[in-house]
Amino acid sequence: MNLYYFMRDALVTATGGGRRYHLWMGTLTLLMLAGLYGYSVQLRDGLAVTGMSDHVSWGLYISNFTFLVGLAAAAVMIVLPAYVLKDVDFSQAVLIGEGVAVSALVMCLAFVVVDLGSPHRFWHLIPGIGFFNFPSSLLAWDVIVLNGYLVLNLCIPFYILFSRYCNRLPRKRLYVPFVYLSVFWAVGIHMVTAFLLAGLPARPFWNSSLLGPRFLASAFAAGPAFMILLLQFIRANSPYAIRDETIAKLAMITTVAAQINLIMLGSELFKEFYRHTHHSQSAYYLFFGLDGHHALRPWIWTAIILNITATGILTLHRLRNSRFWLRPACLMLFVAIWIEKGFGLVIPGFIPSPLGEIVEYTPTWIEMVVTLGIWAMGLFVLTVLIRVAIPIELGSVRSPKATDVETKLQGLGAQS
């Protein structure tokens, strides 16, 4: 019965709100519908409506996928200190972080599905009724780790929120082991996704042992950067108390990760450009262009400049601790890593082709609309999750059956 009340109250909370809220959700819905239309065209006419070809066989979809896996994994940076190091500061941010992980994973799975040529055959992937090529295929690994991570990140916050909703204290012995598991799992999803690309000797641009660590470093820069922006927004727009220390600690994590990421970038650039071999052709294409083809050049230099500027700002304590500088730095870092680890990583892997042919890739409007639609879906999911989680955390939404025991509870914050 409590579950029914929970679902009902969640629905009521998620659908109620002021004009700004409805405008936001309405815009997201419109974008999702536009994406759906784009996808319907793609389903009808095939992936020929995208800019992809046999030469560049993955494009904007998989680029966003690799980036978002990082965002999902970065939720671990929030979970880790909160539970493992018993850093109480973080507890308010944990649920938000897991919400970000869930929405990022929803986007990841959507990007993989829209990239499939025959999505109606998805059941071929289901172990038992399909043919699951495990452990040989890294994509099979990815299916397991992503879905497992999604389940973990749905179950843990649900248990915590539902307990609070029923006015019960969540039992640590029940959920903390799963929190530890999800910490390892988060590293796993990102390493597996990196191995998916790094395991292809056919593509020297990806076939690097640094790819996995670099994925982690960039994720732990972009993820907390996004969290800072989100937490500041929540703090400004709700009574949910997020302390300055939480933000400061997140900024510290972002800074260290961004610095490590830059060191790794430098190491990669040295290897690619000190001695120019056939294996550096893709990097040459990305940074300087090859034979008059240089579609990605402006993008990657934008990313590099944003990356260095943001890391510079974050490194200086005075600037990092000022609210005026922190926000643009986080935004710059997020965009820089989206470029660098999205299409700045995936597309050059295909250019030139293994036989040396140069065919460029430009996304079509269908791809862009579908991509926008999926981002809108992710933000929609995130908004709903946060919208429901915050009043429950604050204690303003409670099961009608639980009111009588409310007095027994302590330390759950102010009842509004």
Partner 1 sequence: MNTEKTRFTFGDLMVRCGFATASEKTHTARQGDTQGGCGNPRPQTGASCSCSGGGACNGGGNPPGGSSLTAKPVTRRQAIGAMVGGALATTAFAASSLSPKTSDEEREKTLLKWQEYFKDNFRLMSDREKAETIQRLERLAYLDHATDVKIKATGAKPGVLFGYAFNISKCKGYRSCVDACIKENNLDRKSGMQYIRIFEMENGKMDIESGNAEYDHPVPAEGHFYMGTQCFQCANPPCVEVCPVGATWQEPDGIVVVDYDWCIGCRYCEAACPYWARRFNWSEPEVPAGEVNANQHYLGNRQRKKGVVEKCTFCVQRTREGRLPACAEACPTGARVFGNLLDPDSEIRYVLEHKQVFRLKEELGCEPKFWYFMD
Name the site residues for partner 1 (rule: CB under 8 A): 45-48, 50, 52-55, 57-58, 112, 115-122, 124-125, 127-140, 143, 196, 199-203, 278, 281, 349-350, 352-357
Q: Among 161, 181, 180, 179, which Cα is nearest to 170's?
A: 161
Smallest distance, Å, CB 131 to partner 1?
Answer: 4
Q: What's the distance, CA 400 to chain centroid?
A: 36
Supply φ then ψ for residue 293, to 5 degrees. Answer: -100, 120
Nearest CB to partner 1, comparing residues 282 and 383: 282
Burial of 402 (0-12, 13-18, 19+ CB in 10 A): middle
Residue type, 281: Q
- Classify 290 as helix, strand or coil: strand
Smallest distance, Å, CB 236 to partner 1?
Answer: 42
Smallest distance, Å, CB 46 to partner 1?
Answer: 4
Nearest CB to partner 1, comparing residues 122 and 270: 122
Nearest CB to partner 1, comparing residues 128 and 411: 128
CA 248 to CA 226: how far, in whole Å? 14
Smallest distance, Å, CB 364 to partner 1?
Answer: 12
Smallest distance, Å, CB 125 to partner 1?
Answer: 6
Give all strands (DSSP E) within 247-331, no chain letters. Answer: none
Count of CB atoms situated within 10 Å of the CB of 244: 11
Q: Give the C-alpha distances (Å, rounded to integers) separating 43 from 58, 118, 407.
A: 17, 9, 56
Nearest CB to partner 1, comparing residues 283 and 379: 283
- Find the helix or strand (DSSP H, E) in which 232 lies: helix 211-237
CA 348 to CA 286: how far, in whole Å? 6
- Classify 293 as helix, strand or coil: strand
Smallest distance, Å, CB 355 to partner 1?
Answer: 5
Smallest distance, Å, CB 65 to partner 1?
Answer: 11
Please report the DSSP string for 100-113 in residue order. Answer: HHHHHHHHHHHHHH
Burial of 341 (0-12, 13-18, 19+ CB in 10 A): buried
